[in-house]
Amino acid sequence: MARQERAIRTRRTILEAAAAVFDERGYTSATIGEILDRAGVTKGALYFHFGSKEELALGVFEEQLAITLPPQSSKLQELVDSGLVLARRLRSEPLVRASVGLALDQGAMDLDRTPAFRMWIDQNVQMLAEAKAQGELLPHVDVAETAELLVGSFSGVQLLSQLRCQRQDLERRIVVMFEHFLPSITVPAVLARLDISAERAARVLAQGRVEVPVQGRVQVQVQEQAVSTGA
């Protein structure tokens, strides 16, 4: 168990170092040597966890989704929660910022950035499909198209927020996005019950977080406690 915990910490250290170097230098200019120096680990330790620079980038991509939030009776509330929490993490967690920045790095010509968007879209497809099965979506809604539109909208909104004010207003901008987006897909009775306030993410995250290994990486899980979430 101690060896497993040490391996998890080492992997996290390498990911954080890679994220910092990617963020500062861009993917193309970043080197394994710089990442090793920043992480303070041996080349063998790095290659034990990641076989290449591209695998490192994929590990960084995964961090934007490496979180489990408390389940809600409404799947659309879970969709909203995931968006608001991601907005908050973008403001507070360097590794998540690097993940999104790397996915949008148009200068990274030798990096396949599609997995970052595919994972994100797939997550939204799943939540929207479950919402449709529960009767939360209007009949005309195409789940796959809606998931892609949501990911594209979020990406553009966060980029605008970054350029305007270093994402200081991002949570409010994502609330506005949902306020415009959700009425076009949501059954009115469900829409009336959704909490899409800017404070929602803080309430969800206040429920507590633990880290657990999932498929060789660390996943952050938000645990349910006796805290009101408004849903």
Residue 1, pLDDT score: 55
Residue appearing with tokens 């799943």: 126
- Report residue 195: phi and psi, to 5°: -100, 110
Query: What is the arithmetic mean of pLDDT over 164-178?
Result: 96
Residue 208, pLDDT score: 53
Instruction: Determine the angle formed by the axes of helices 94-103 and 53-62, rounding to 10 degrees.
Output: 120
- 65 vs 74, higher pLDDT: 74
The rounded percent of the chain whose pLDDT value lies above 70 is 89
Q: How do residues 71-124 score in pLDDT, each as one tens digit? A: 999 999 999 999 999 999 998 888 888 888 888 887 777 788 888 889 899 999
Q: How do residues 118-142 score in pLDDT, each as one tens digit? A: 989 999 999 999 999 999 999 999 9
Strand partners, 137: 186
pTM of the full structure: 0.80
- 146 vs 24, higher pLDDT: 146
* Maximum distance among all Cα pairs of the chain, rounded to whole angstroms: 57
pLDDT band at residue 216, thresholds of 50, 70 and 90? very low
- Which two tokens mark 125? 């497809």
Integer Cα distance of 126 and 94 in angstroms = 27
Integer Cα distance of 200 and 171 in angstroms = 9
